[in-house]
A and B are shown apart, each in its own frame.
Chain A
Amino acid sequence: GDSVTQMEGPVTLSEEAFLTINCTYTATGYPSLFWYVQYPGEGLQLLLKATKADDKGSNKGFEATYRKETTSFHLEKGSVQVSDSAVYFCALSDPMDSSYKLIFGSGTRLLVRP
């Protein structure tokens, strides 16, 4: 079945460092891809999405490009802030799945130090 694999965390960075969180997927069809963020004590929020190959999703300085040839959707940010500390989840949805569920990766915790 479809699946999402993310890099293990935690990822610890200093403020203003460059961030990459790797995400690869396995899917039989043509999924849509998403990044969700979970701040401490809160539910998940959609950060960005891409619905077809070569699309780039972006929001709040974060970017991710849907790479069909490498089945990847890596999250990047040029300069992280302490307020970016959170858990980041990569997810996919299969448009042919009647349950409309999202399949999540295991999450990557990001810690940004001042």
Chain B
Amino acid sequence: EAQVTQNPRYLITVTGKKLTVTCSQNMNHEYMSWYRQDPGLGLRQIYYSMNVEVTDKGDVPEGYKVSRKEKRNFPLILESPSPNQTSLYFCASSPYGGGESGELFFGEGSRLTVL
């Protein structure tokens, strides 16, 4: 089954404790991206990657890092989480730039709470 898998789905952590949210897709997509969803704000892009070893900042990259060492994986790293990073995070992928076709394939989301 074609899918984007995120882990963990739910996480409660404390300020400053480094964490990684993993994302893996099995569709051989070149483009991957991370969004965060906050009430009243919709989804905002954090980082994106056009291909292996090619990553770039989105609209809200502060406090986040990413890497793309393999085509299928695109982990989101929070080096020192803060309470304002409490949010619902979505990983998404597309066979090419999502903007061309508009069809992004989303994972089920990871709900992160930072105390």
A102 x B104 contact (CB < 8 A): yes
Among A43, A100, A104, which residue has its beta carbon within 8 angstroms of that of B31? A100
| Interface residue A22 (Cβ < 8 Å from any Cβ of B) | no
B42 x A89 contact (CB < 8 A): yes
Number of interface residues of A (CB under 8 A): 25
Interface residues of B (CB under 8 A from A): 4, 31, 33, 40-45, 48, 50, 56, 58-59, 90, 92, 94, 96-100, 102-104, 106-109
Known: A41-B108, A45-B106, A100-B50. 13 other contacts (CB 8 A): A42-B109, A43-B90, A44-B104, A46-B102, A46-B103, A46-B104, A93-B98, A100-B31, A100-B100, A101-B59, A102-B104, A104-B44, A106-B41
The 4 closest A-B pairs by CB, nearest first: A100-B97, A43-B106, A100-B99, A93-B99
Interface residues of A (CB under 8 A from B): 4, 32, 34, 41-46, 49, 51, 89, 91, 93-95, 97, 99-102, 104-107
